[in-house]
Amino acid sequence: MADPNAAEAASSLPDHYSWFSVIDQNVHLGDKLGWPFNDEGQRWFFGGDIHLLHVWAFGFVVLLLLLFGLATRRNVADPEEAVVPQDKLTVSNFVELMTSGVYNMMAAMMGKEAAKYFLPLIGTCAFVIFFSNVLGLIPGFLPPTDSLNTTAAMAIVIFIATHVYGIKKQGFVNYFKHFMGPVIWLAPLIFVIELISHLVRPVTLAVRLTANMFADHAVLTVFIGLLLPTVVWFLPLALPVYILGCVVVTVQTLVFCLLSTVYISMAIEDTHAH
């Protein structure tokens, strides 16, 4: 017979409980920052638990990326050794392959010079999103990208960069000319449509990534929970679920970076092309 106290304790666990919950319960970062409470409990800007598990998870991802960066820097410090390809997959090889893949995708859309200039921005998004998504495939961890707080922050950065570099490239007046359309008498209508479409871009970037990662992590958690009692069949039955999770992780990273590249390339292209 099941212990009712154990069942009650399990049901009292907060949503999205993970290893980071142990840290947050002892640190109480939200309380130290003085963020306000409400009648329903502690809430964050876009909703969700104020315990800021996505912040701890994001910090863990940044730490992993820092370690990957230091390892890559050490391997490429000697140019003579760096040009010789290694015979196995290493951290530096992985970073090089992912960086070159992002650059090739950007170069095909906006040209080599623009791709080289914007690679630090889009490449950083690619690494952060990919590592954050992968974190959700590890039992006991949560992907910071399943929180709208994380994805909205990245989408807002892309939104600001799009218009800042668009104005810098074309000038304020020329940049906003394409918001008016080719016909003067339709300019007010075209302006409203263009304005709405631009404002919707960061929303769709953030919501799409959050929704897909939340659903992927939820499905993975449910399947793993159902398969754990059947230890014999756990690995063969869980493998397809993990393969699907890997596909979702990669595709969502690609979609965010692809759309971000499209938005920036459209903003910096010659206005005569409109």
User: Which of 83-97, 137-151, 235-249: highest mean pLDDT?
Assistant: 137-151
Tokens of 100: 């070159």
Which of 184-188, 233-237, 260-264 is the least confident region?
233-237
Give the whole-number percent of the chain exceeding pLDDT 70: 71
Half-sphere exposure of 266 (CA within 13 A, CB side): 15
Long-range pairs for 216-219 at CB < 8 Å and ≥24 separation? 216/133, 216/136, 216/244, 216/245, 216/248, 216/249, 217/136, 217/142, 217/143, 217/146
Q: Is the confidence at residue 45, as pLDDT, over 60?
A: no
Say if 101 falls within a structural domain. yes
**Which residue, 117, 138, 142, 139, is CA-closest to 59?**
142
Name 38's bridge partners.
Answer: 41
Average pLDDT value for residue range 12-36:
53
Number of domains within the chain: 1
| Residue 178 lies in domain | 17-273
Looking at residue 37, the DSSP 8-state letter turns out to be: E
Give the whole-number percent of the chain exceeding pLDDT 90: 38
Confidence of residue 29 (pLDDT cuts 50, 70, 90): low
As a dihedral over the C-alpha atoms of residue 186, residue 189, residue 193, residue 194, rounded to 10 degrees, the angle is: 50
Say if 8 falls within a structural domain. no
Say if 206 falls within a structural domain. yes
Q: Is the confidence at residue 246, as pLDDT, over 60?
A: yes
**Which residue, 147, 116, 122, is CA-closest to 54?**
147
Tokens of 119: 């690679």
Torsion sign across C-alpha atoms 262, 267, 269, 273: positive
Which of 1-10, 41-50, 110-119, 123-132 is the least confident region?
1-10
Predicted local distance difference test score (pLDDT) of residue 245: 85
Helix axes 231-268, 187-227, angle to 10 degrees: 170
Say if 4 falls within a structural domain. no
Average pLDDT value for residue range 29-47:
47
Predicted local distance difference test score (pLDDT) of residue 55: 80
Say if 144 falls within a structural domain. yes
Query: How far apart are alpha carbons 105 and 193 in whole angstroms?
Result: 29
Confidence of residue 210 (pLDDT cuts 50, 70, 90): very high
Do residues 146 and 214 lie in contact, with contact meaning Cβ atoms separated by under 8 Å?
yes
Query: How far apart are alpha carbons 91 and 72 in whole angstroms?
Result: 6
Predicted local distance difference test score (pLDDT) of residue 6: 38
Predicted local distance difference test score (pLDDT) of residue 93: 86
Do residues 49 and 15 lie in contact, with contact meaning Cβ atoms separated by under 8 Å?
yes
Average pLDDT value for residue range 48-61:
73
Predicted local distance difference test score (pLDDT) of residue 200: 94
Predicted local distance difference test score (pLDDT) of residue 25: 53
Query: How much is the pTM?
Result: 0.79
